[in-house]
Homo-oligomer: A and B are copies of this chain.
Amino acid sequence: MTTDDEDGADRIRAGWRRELPDVPVGPIGVITRIWRLAQLFTADRERTLDRLGLDSSTLDLLSTLRRSGPPYELTSGQIAARSFVSAGAVSQRIARAEAAGLVRRARSGADGRSVAVRLTDEGRRMNEDAVADLLRHEETLLDGLGATEHDELAATLKVLLGQLTRRFDAEDRPPP
């Protein structure tokens, strides 16, 4: 008596349970759904950003600068450290945003190797508009969850994320 409101994850799980009965299918219910939700949130952001003439990597750059507070300036290295992308990607993002007039680059005073990246007024304005739009809209995406459910979800995700982050960090740094 299978329940009828199977989703994609349920179907994948049922497929593996049928075909490879020895394999544990438990993780699918969480991991596959997290992947799929991440995709949906990404696609939804992209639709909004298209309207605003931005893309998600530019938004990430502008937001990192904006969140740092006045004078909205960081070095490339600081941006890379906060962005979870490679230094090369940051360099390209800055070049694109500079061409669009959203940031300006200047050699940093103290250290001739670093580059200070600063938000222009237009970059700041576009970022503030986009962040307000996105977060207000994303709030509605989670409306279907009750307040308690929402908070418990955030809390559980935080626990899991903390555990995995610590675990992977420890694995990367094998015992001396």
Number of interface residues of A (CB under 8 A): 65
Closest chain B CB from A128 CB (angstroms): 6
A22's nearest neighbour on chain B, judged by CB, is B132
Closest chain B CB from A20 CB (angstroms): 6
A67-B12, A69-B18 are contacts. A24–B136 as well, Cβ < 8 Å?
yes
Is residue A111 contacting chain B, with contact meaning CB distance below 8 A?
A: no
Partner of A153 from B30, B43, B68 at Cβ < 8 Å:
B30
User: How many Å lie between the Cα of A91 and that of B159 in the bound state?
Assistant: 40
How often does this chain occur in the complex, in copies? Answer: 2
Contact between chains at A128 and B30 (CB < 8 Å): no
A163's nearest neighbour on chain B, judged by CB, is B144
Provide the A25-68 mask, 1 if CB < 8 A to any CB of B, else 0. Answer: 11111110111111111111000000000000000000000111
Nearest 6 interchain pairs by C-beta = A15-B67, A38-B38, A29-B154, A27-B138, A33-B157, A144-B163
